[in-house]
Structure formats: structure tokens, C-alpha cells
Chains A and B, each alone.
Chain A
Amino acid sequence: MAIQAAKTEQREGMHFLESVPRRWVTVYIPLTLFLFFLLFPFYWMGLTAFKPNAELLATDGNPFWVMAPTLDHFKKLFVDTSYPTWLWNTIIVSVVATFVSLATSVFAAYAIERLRFKGAHQLGVAIFLAYLVPPSILFIPLATMVFQLGMFDSRLALIFTYPTFLIPFCTWLLMGYFRSIPFELEECAIIDGATRWQILTRIVLPLAIPGLISAGIFAFTLSWNEFIYALTFVSASENKTVPVGVITELVEGDVYHWGSLMAGALVGSLPVAIMYSFFVEYYVAGMTGAVKE
């Protein structure tokens, strides 16, 4: 930490030459505008969720504040709609898909990076290419498959299809982490008579924990945010995930219940936002790591 701080100091060393007014114009004002642009929708989402309908539809008064905050929208959300079920579905699907993907990715990444079997390099490239296949071109054939396999309109359909974008991502990320673990450690273990399994579970995995956390959090967020598969493969209300449920069921005809829509969006965003706040560094490492390699 201290070294990093020193490094930062060194890197920023030249900027003290700038005058204070200049810094305001070149740094603080643009940065404030950026923050306003990036955060205003969240403020607006949160504010609307607590606004009573009378204030929402009033054209006079100050829309940027709420006079009489209410929990009605949340109550409606949790009592009158299947929102709790959607939340539960999203949690189940995200957690299971993430664990399945992580478990299979660990083996795949280790094999590609360290076992150096015939064709390992080509497989690594194939994994990267698989990462680039977007769900938008897969959902139609997958829908017919899901139907034929009898998984249509079930959480199982999502649990089986989400790994198609999670495994390539996790494998690619973990390959980078495994590459950073020195070979010598494994060689020592082999000399001491350890099996590949022991090497993987006792040496490589403990050292790759930051990578596992990064991959896990990212995978969880990706599953939580997934929309097109969930929209296509699920139709019954009790099987929907939060994003699909909010879009398809909280909008009734032309009457938009903005309050409950925003409450639904807020509650659906909170779990990922909270998890993100605890693991920011891992998250950023995962995102930039996947791009940098």
C-alpha cells in the first residue's frame, strides 16, 4: 500500500505546478458535470420510488424533491405483484449459473494454461472467440432447443443457457490469473510427489482466490443483468426474473405506474450495487483484466 501511494505521488508529481483556478476549470468542473450526468438517473430513480402519486403527476411544485415520502410503491410491489418471486428466481438462477460456470472454468483454464496438452493454445483462442458471440444471435436457436428439451418456461432453461456467456468470460479471466502464478511452485510440488489434483486444490486455487472472486462477482452481475434469454425462454409470471418481470408485468396498458416501476428498478439494482460496493477492486480487476490480456 505504501509503495503504491509513493508511486502515485511520483506519477502525479507534475501537476502541483498548476494554478488553483486552472485546476478548477480543467479538472473539477468537468468532473462534476460527468458525475451529475452519470448519477442523476439514480437520484431520479430513488426519488420517484418514494414520491406519492399526487406529487408524481403534479405539474407545479419542485419535482427535484419529495414533500411527503411514501412507501406505498414498495408495498404495492411486494404485496400486489409477484416481485418477491422474481427476486428469488433471479437469485437462484444467478447463484447456480455462477457456481456451475466457475467450477467448470477453473478446470478449463488450468488445463489450457498449465497442462499444455495438444491443442491447448487453439482452445484458448476458441474460448476468447466464444466470449465474443453475443446472445442476440443465439437466442432464436436456443429457444427452439430449450423447447425441444422440455425446459421452456423454467428456471432450468436459464441455468443451462447463462453459462454460455459466463464460462468463456470466467475461463479467459482465470487463464490470466493462473499465468501469473510461478511455475516453480508447481514444479516443487511435483518433485514432492503431489498429484495434479493436489496441485490444483492446494497450491493454484488458494493463490488464485482474488481471480476467483473477480470472476465470480462479474459472472453474478452478468447473470443478474441478463435480459434477452430470460425474456424469450420464460413466460409464466412465477418463473420470471426481475428485469423481465418489471418490464412485462408492471406496465399495464397505457397507465404507467411510475412509482412502482422505479421502486422495482431500485430494489432490483440494490443487490448488485451492494455486492459491487464491497468488492470494487475485484470488480475493476475483473473488468480490466478481461480486456487487457
Chain B
Amino acid sequence: MDNRNVLGALFMLPAAAILLTFLTYPLGLGVWLGFTDAKIGRGGEWIGFENYEWLWDDSVFRLSIFNTFLYTVVASIVKFALGLWLALLLNRHLPFKSFLRAIVLLPFIVPTVLSAIAFWWIYDAQFSVLSWTLMKLGLIDEYINFLGEPNLARASTITANVWRGVPFVAICLLAGLQTISPALYEAAAIDGATPWQKFRNITLPMLSPIIAVVMTFSVLFTFTDFQLIWVLTRGGPINATHLMATLSFQRAIPGGALGEGAAIAISMIPFLLAAILFSYFGLQRRKWQQGGSDR
């Protein structure tokens, strides 16, 4: 038994050493930095909650919280709806099924920054292909400044985020759909169930554990998103698309206020914890889904 523990510790050592040094320690360091006035090039002094008090009165920070929630909620709902729809479509009997599945995932695997550049070009104020098409169709009179007006910029960044996130949701849910036994649908068909009833009473309940996990991941990644915003708008116009992550970067690295940036980053943790707890309880498979009776 002793041997087992020693060997276990030995096998864990490399991974644990890296994670403790570069993950656990910085996490603690980040919390500490949030309580200091550290700047780039000089260590900080402990200033208690001053950063947080200051941020609380900072309208840009408040706006970034609002933006982060708007971005996360809208993008997640759209990603879920479109992802589930796409998963259901891909679960049908289709020609070139595996090929379709493979190309659908492309937006997810290509580096976000690089695909964001393509969106940047698509949203360009002068040469946007979207504006060009809408002009030719006679729907608009002048080119749309997609990234130049607050609400348009929000909608544009959310669209780009949805574009990247839908394949992830769809492919994960498709994997879940394929584990549902066809016998259930046959039984329902014999009982005369409509397609909607089958979806509502078989597909959704059977899929709910995986939906909970996939959406938690999706919410987590959307909430902490940085790349897409940084490439498309850098938080502009007039801070309308600043998320907490981009604001934290802007204040800490180009701005040099490490302490304040850390405080903004740490402010995200309570929300993330809520998402993780949700995942934890979502992960608990209910008994009836494995053939047992409900509690």
C-alpha cells in the first residue's frame, strides 16, 4: 500500500510541479496583485480593497460587466439554439455525412485570431462585402459601419463569436444524440407520438446532461473571451464592446496598471465559480437516464 502511494506521488510529480508553479501559484499571486498598486516595472504595496472600490465607481468597468453579460447571454443562447438545430440536422441520414461533419467543425479548429481577421475584413466600413451585397439588393443606401457604432459593433462581435461556437456545440450535441437508443423513438412512434412530442419527451431529456456540460464550457469560454474582441474592436467604439478580459488586459499591459488589471480579472472568478457549480450539478446523471427509477 505504501509502495502504491510512493509510486503515485512519483508519477504525479512532473504534472503537479508544472501546475503548482504556473497555475496554482499565479492564481494566488493574481488575487494578491488585485490588492496592490503594482505597476509594470515596480512591485506593489498592499492597498487593501482600494482597486475594487475604485473600479466600483468606474463607469467603464461597469459597462464592461454589462457588455460581458450581454455578450455571454446572447451568444450562448444563439449558439445553443443553432447548435442543437445543426446537430439534429447532422443526425439525419445524409449523403457525405462524415464529410459534412468534418467541414462543419472547421470554424472551431482554425485559430480564432486568424478567422477574426477574416471577419474584420467582412465588417470593414468601406469595403464590406455584406454592405456591397445589401446595396446591390437595394436594401440599404450607404455602407454599414459594422464596427463603428456601439450596438452594431456588439451585434457584429456576437455574430463572429456564434460563428466560432456553433460547431463546437453542434458536434458535442451530435455525439450525445448518437447515444440515444433508437428503440425509444420506435416505441414513441408506435404510441403515435408527433415529431415535436418525440423531441420534447425523448431527445431533450436524454440530452440534458450533455447540454448542461457543453453549455457550461461554452459560457465559460464566452465569458472569458479575449481574442475575438481584441482583434475586431479592441473594446471600442467608446468601450461598447469592452469585455472584462479585454479591459483587464488594456489596463494591465499597455496601461501598465498590473494591480488594477488583476483586480478586474479576479472579479470574473465569482461568475466563473457559479458556472462551474452549475456544471457540477449538471454532471450528475439522473437515475432514470440510466434505466433506474427516479428518486
- B9's partner among A44, A103, A117, A287 (CB-CB below 8 A) is A117
| Residue from the set B8, B33, B82, B225 with the largest chain A CB neighbour count within 10 Å | B8
Alpha-carbon distance between A115 and B6 when the two chains are bound, in angstroms: 10
**Are the CB atoms of B111 and A225 closer together than 8 Å?**
yes
**Are the CB atoms of B129 and A15 closer together than 8 Å?**
no
**Neighbouring B residues of A168 by C-beta, 8 Å:** 19, 23
Q: Which residues of chain A (50-71) have a CB below 8 Å from chain B?
A: 56-57, 59, 63-64
**Are the CB atoms of A10 and B182 closer together than 8 Å?**
yes
Interface: B134 (CB within 8 A): no
Mark each residue of chain A from 22 to 37: 1 if its CB lies under 8 Å from any CB of chain B, else 0.
0000010011001101
Alpha-carbon distance between A291 and B224 when the two chains are bound, in angstroms: 18
**Are the CB atoms of A272 and B210 closer together than 8 Å?**
no
Interface: A38 (CB within 8 A): yes
Alpha-carbon distance between A227 and B113 when the two chains are bound, in angstroms: 7
Interface: A203 (CB within 8 A): no
Interface: B147 (CB within 8 A): no
Report the interface size for chain A: residues with CB under 8 A from the other chain: 96
**Are the CB atoms of A129 and B276 closer together than 8 Å?**
yes
Task: Tell whether A136 pairs with B94 under 8 Å between CB atoms, given A14-B186, A141-B27, A232-B253.
Answer: no
**Neighbouring A residues of B168 by C-beta, 8 Å:** 287
Closest B residue to A275 by beta carbon equals B109
* Nearest CB of chain A from residue B25's CB, rounded to whole Å: 8
Interface: A41 (CB within 8 A): yes
**Neighbouring A residues of B163 by C-beta, 8 Å:** 37-38, 41
Interface: A216 (CB within 8 A): no
Interface: A284 (CB within 8 A): yes
Interface: A108 (CB within 8 A): yes
**Are the CB atoms of B92 and A27 closer together than 8 Å?**
yes
**Are the CB atoms of A133 and B94 closer together than 8 Å?**
no
**Are the CB atoms of B268 and A137 closer together than 8 Å?**
yes
Q: Which residues of chain A (77-124) have a CB below 8 Å from chain B?
A: 100, 103-105, 107-108, 110-112, 115-118, 120, 123
Alpha-carbon distance between A135 and B214 when the two chains are bound, in angstroms: 19
* Nearest CB of chain B from residue A107's CB, rounded to whole Å: 4
Interface: A177 (CB within 8 A): no
Alpha-carbon distance between A252 and B245 when the two chains are bound, in angstroms: 25
Closest A residue to B262 by beta carbon equals A140
* Nearest CB of chain A from residue B241's CB, rounded to whole Å: 15
**Are the CB atoms of B22 and A164 closer together than 8 Å?**
yes
Mark each residue of chain A from 133 to 165: 1 if its CB lies under 8 Å from any CB of chain B, else 0.
111111111111100000000000000110110
Interface: A207 (CB within 8 A): no
Alpha-carbon distance between A37 and B22 when the two chains are bound, in angstroms: 39
* Nearest CB of chain A from residue B281's CB, rounded to whole Å: 14
Task: Tell whether A246 pairs with B113 under 8 Å between CB atoms, given A117-B7, A287-B168.
Answer: yes
Interface: A185 (CB within 8 A): no
**Are the CB atoms of B175 and A141 closer together than 8 Å?**
no
Alpha-carbon distance between A188 and B109 when the two chains are bound, in angstroms: 41
Interface: B185 (CB within 8 A): yes
- A288's partner among B27, B29, B172 (CB-CB below 8 A) is B172
Q: Which residues of chain B (195-254) have a CB below 8 Å from chain A?
A: 210, 213-214, 217, 220-221, 224-227, 230-231, 244-245, 248-249, 252-253
**Are the CB atoms of A108 and B27 closer together than 8 Å?**
no
**Are the CB atoms of A261 and B106 closer together than 8 Å?**
no
Alpha-carbon distance between A90 and B177 when the two chains are bound, in angstroms: 36
**Neighbouring A residues of B23 by C-beta, 8 Å:** 130, 133, 138, 164, 168
- A134's partner among B26, B85, B109, B224 (CB-CB below 8 A) is B224
**Are the CB atoms of A117 and B111 closer together than 8 Å?**
no
Interface: A171 (CB within 8 A): yes
**Are the CB atoms of B27 and A138 closer together than 8 Å?**
yes
- A41's partner among B119, B166, B279 (CB-CB below 8 A) is B119
**Are the CB atoms of A291 and B217 closer together than 8 Å?**
yes
**Are the CB atoms of A291 and B111 closer together than 8 Å?**
no
Alpha-carbon distance between A12 and B94 when the two chains are bound, in angstroms: 10
Q: Which residues of chain A (157-201) have a CB below 8 Å from chain B?
A: 160-161, 163-164, 167-168, 171, 196
* Nearest CB of chain A from residue B258's CB, rounded to whole Å: 6
Task: Tell whether A228 pairs with B92 under 8 Å between CB atoms, given A104-B15, A108-B15, A117-B5.
Answer: no
Alpha-carbon distance between A200 and B53 when the two chains are bound, in angstroms: 54
**Neighbouring B residues of A291 by C-beta, 8 Å:** 172, 210, 213-214, 217
**Are the CB atoms of A136 and B268 closer together than 8 Å?**
yes
**Neighbouring A residues of B150 by C-beta, 8 Å:** none
**Are the CB atoms of B111 and A107 closer together than 8 Å?**
no
Task: Tell whether A130 pairs with B19 under 8 Å between CB atoms, given A44-B121, A63-B129, A144-B258.
Answer: yes
**Are the CB atoms of B227 and A228 closer together than 8 Å?**
yes
The 9 closest A-B pairs by CB, nearest first: A117-B8, A111-B11, A12-B93, A108-B15, A134-B224, A141-B29, A243-B113, A141-B26, A265-B114
- Show 13 residue pairs from A and B whose CB-CB distance is below 8 angstroms, ordered by the A residue: A14-B189, A27-B94, A38-B104, A38-B167, A111-B7, A115-B8, A137-B248, A145-B26, A161-B22, A196-B7, A264-B117, A284-B171, A288-B171
